[in-house]
Chains A and B, each alone.
Chain A
Amino acid sequence: MNNEGKTILSYQLFFLLIQTQIGVSIVSLPHDVFNTAKGDGWISVLLTGVVVQCIIFMYMFIIKRFPTYSWKQVCEALFGKVIGKFIVLLYILYFICLASMTLAKYALLLSAWMMPRTPSWVLLLLMLIIVLYIVTAKLEAIAQFYVLTSVILLVYIGFNIYAWKEANLTFILPIGQSGVPHILEGIIKVFPSFSGIELLLILHIFVHAEKREILKVATISNVCLTIFYTFITLTSLVFLSPKELKLVPEPVLYLVKSFSFKIIERPDLIFTSIWIVLVATTLTMFIYATKYLSLHMYKKGKSQFVTIFLLVVCYIIAIPLRKVYILQTVSEYFQYAIIAFMVVLPLIFFLITFIFSKKEVEQ
């Protein structure tokens, strides 16, 4: 695992980050944010982008201090062997949970929209087979693959532009109607959609570029992602009335469903099925991070077996989660875990590095 070397190019990192971050929640994002911030949801998304940009700067500070250290080495350098290992273990658990949540949400959504009669454990199995095939390859191949699959995002943008034909701007006017507290609260709801940026901490050692370049790429990817999310949210907000939005948990799919063309009556069926590509790319990166961290922690173990083991664990966790109410309750709590691992823990890292001016030890 260690000697995989710097195999990713900087533009590939861009797609790697974007594809990881855009995942299962893209179709439900407008609904989630509408529930708290109403018509100003898009401002919450924009603000989240700004917050995430600050997080990226924080990450880059840590990365610059430890340019060649792997994540485990950073943890151990800052907290000592025992606590460092414990923190890595926490991250492994976090990524497993993240993957399981994604899986559960995927199964739930797919059986609601496309395959009501197929048992959802079969759908989970299908996704895991895809992920298993992708994740056992080298990161280089995965990165190249993500560049290609990004074409799908153009389909999303295309459909959303089409929706502006029937936009009703009064739904979001007046801007700022829901008040600053609600808009800020919306940020918490948007945060899970940005999860995946923490992979930057792990992946940066594979990128064949200067650290300055990495910062640039991460920033560009964050700006693009924020614009993309804001656009998607805004489209749903102006297309669907507030009353509809309250009822529809997946506004993006609903929006596509309302179209019909001369040759395709239900474009949402195609739309939903290509959405699984986004799910697969997200999941793969989470599993990859877990696999990387666990192989790194226990130097032993075959990569194949570890991957299969991790996938089985995710499957077992995802099985009970795939009920609407259970998933809702769990994700309510889990969004704080995401904030903890995305913001709070790296913040502690940052403070320790900054205050004690820790640095990489030259070998």
Chain B
Amino acid sequence: MPYDELQETLAENKQTLEKVFQHTEDLQVQMMTLQEKKALVCSLKTMADDQKIVQQLTTMEAGISLKEMSEKVTNIQDMVEAILLGNTVVLVEGKQEGIVLQTAQEHERSPDEPENERVVQGAHNGFIENLDVNIHLIRRRLKQEDLHVTYKTVGKETENNVAIVYLKGKANEETIQYIEDQLEVMQQKKVRVIGELVNYLLRHVKTIFPKKLYTERPDRTTAYLTEGKIAILMDNSAIACIVPISFFAFFQSPDDFNEQIYDGTLFRFIRLASFIGALIFPATYIAIITYHFEIIPFEMITLVKNSIETVPFPPFFEAFIMIVTIELIREAGIRLPSPIGQTIGIVGGIIIGEAVVTAGLVSNVVVIVIALTAIMSFTIASYEMGNTLRILSFPIMVAAALFGFVGIVASTLIILFHLCKVKVLNTPYFFPLAPFDFASIKRILFRIHRETMDVKKK
């Protein structure tokens, strides 16, 4: 039955159609007269856009290129499929074929401000799941003929459109070529999310630090494009992926540029300092309590001693318990709706924190240390960098438990050297500190702009 040819009489076709759709009530079948012929307009009310139907029927009525404008269906099966996609099929009396009108409804999220990249002041729009809209958002901010967009299709089963966006002349040609070549290879692979794509692109870069920067903000993306970076966007992903990226990009926020140099720089340094702090603060506590009690000033010794005297665990284990607890609270709260998330925060933070100290399992000092560490780790705007931070703080804690301060210095030394060593797509990751470039340090760390510097020279 499904492969039956269409009949010449409209009534017969209508009957078959209603039978196939099991007399569903959102099926619209309307009789009307088109170009003085009887016609049957069939569509699903829930899938088709009424405005589009009216618009296209008017065009048909006007008689403009009726034959070329749409594709045709000749059997029931094709017709049903077309209707299910949201298209409208017009059957004309006396013809064994139907004309398909593209009338599918499209529902897009409006480009709202991304939840995880809020700014205090400034632009409040973000990318959505539609590639064209995203590129529109970029182009609107970067009205230049140099802005180059290359489309590629990737993915074997789920074909996805990928756009490579860059400023010609600023971005590195070799890198672009490399990315385009790699995307050709990706056509044969399964690609579900943009992360798979980028991870494949950067699979030779061996590092625990985030190799790419995801952003949902068009202003941030355009800022990087003008610096010569390349943005990769994919249909159905509301993020732009910026490559090649450097370490310090994760500590910048569009807010910094809106403010004066002084506060922008201050906030940037607070973020960097909290990164370092969150990395070594728990380890420092462990080292001091385990090995270097002498370093605590005389006035503080009794305070600390009273606090830790009753604790049955070694400092490493003590800190470890608290860190795991904080991680649990974070992980539990992150995907819950906010009212429940708040409850988790109260139960986890206040009740557990208070009870665990009262019970004498951990000391007050360690609660302060770990809570401060957690807050410091949240100042880092980037989710990925925060994850790296959490992972890295554990080996440093172990090193501190084994070697005290020497262990902390040794492990930070290794991390620092790792940062010097890593290159993402032939771009040094720790730029501008390694290789050392004073002019860029002024620009990236102290946020003194080239333009402002030029003005000063004049």
Contacts and interface: CB of A to CB of B under 8 A. Distances in A.
Contact of B297 (A12, A147, A263, A274): A263
Contacts of A149: 413, 416
A279 B408 CA distance: 15
Nearest to B414: A133
B292 interface: yes
Contact of B294 (A118, A126, A145, A265): A265
B261 to A, nearest CB: 24
A269 B410 contact: no
B10 to A, nearest CB: 77
Nearest to A152: B409
Interface string A117-154: 01000010011011001100110010011011100000
A145 to B, nearest CB: 4
Contact of B405 (A9, A12, A126, A270): A270
Contacts of A12: 435
Interface in A1-59: 9, 11-12
A148 B420 contact: yes
B295 A266 contact: yes
B406 A114 contact: yes
* Chain A interface helix/strand/loop/mixed: helix
Contacts of B413: 130, 149, 276-277, 280
Contacts of B414: 130, 133
A176 B435 CA distance: 45
A324 to B, nearest CB: 20
Contacts of B417: 133-134, 137, 141, 145
Interface residues of A, number: 37
Contact of B403 (A126, A261, A264): A126
A273 B291 CA distance: 13
A262 interface: yes
A4 to B, nearest CB: 15
A104 interface: no
Given A126-B403, A147-B434, A148-B416, A276 B294 contact: no
A126 B292 contact: no
A190 interface: no
B296 interface: yes
Contacts of B418: 133
A115 interface: yes
B295 A269 contact: yes
Contact of A115 (B406, B408, B435): B406
A123 to B, nearest CB: 8
B292 A266 contact: yes
B294 A274 contact: no
B23 to A, nearest CB: 72
Given A114-B405, A147-B434, A130 B410 contact: yes
Contact of A126 (B291, B295, B410, B430): B410
Nearest to B288: A269
Given A137-B421, A148-B436, A276 B297 contact: no
Given A133-B417, A145-B416, A145-B417, A118 B296 contact: no
A264 B292 CA distance: 11
A277 B416 CA distance: 11
A110 interface: yes
B295 A273 contact: no
Interface in A236-293: 260-266, 269-270, 272-274, 276-277, 280
Given A147-B436, A148-B434, A277 B409 contact: yes
B404 A115 contact: yes
Query: Which 10 residue pairs spanning A and B have beta carbons closest together?
Result: A144-B434, A273-B405, A141-B421, A145-B420, A273-B409, A266-B295, A144-B420, A265-B297, A147-B436, A266-B294
Interface of B: 291-292, 294-298, 403-410, 413-414, 416-418, 420-421, 428, 430, 433-436
Given A114-B405, A133-B414, 4 more contacts: A123-B403, A137-B417, A149-B413, A269-B405
15 contacts: A115-B291, A123-B403, A126-B403, A126-B406, A129-B410, A144-B434, A145-B416, A145-B421, A145-B434, A148-B416, A260-B297, A262-B297, A272-B405, A273-B405, A273-B409
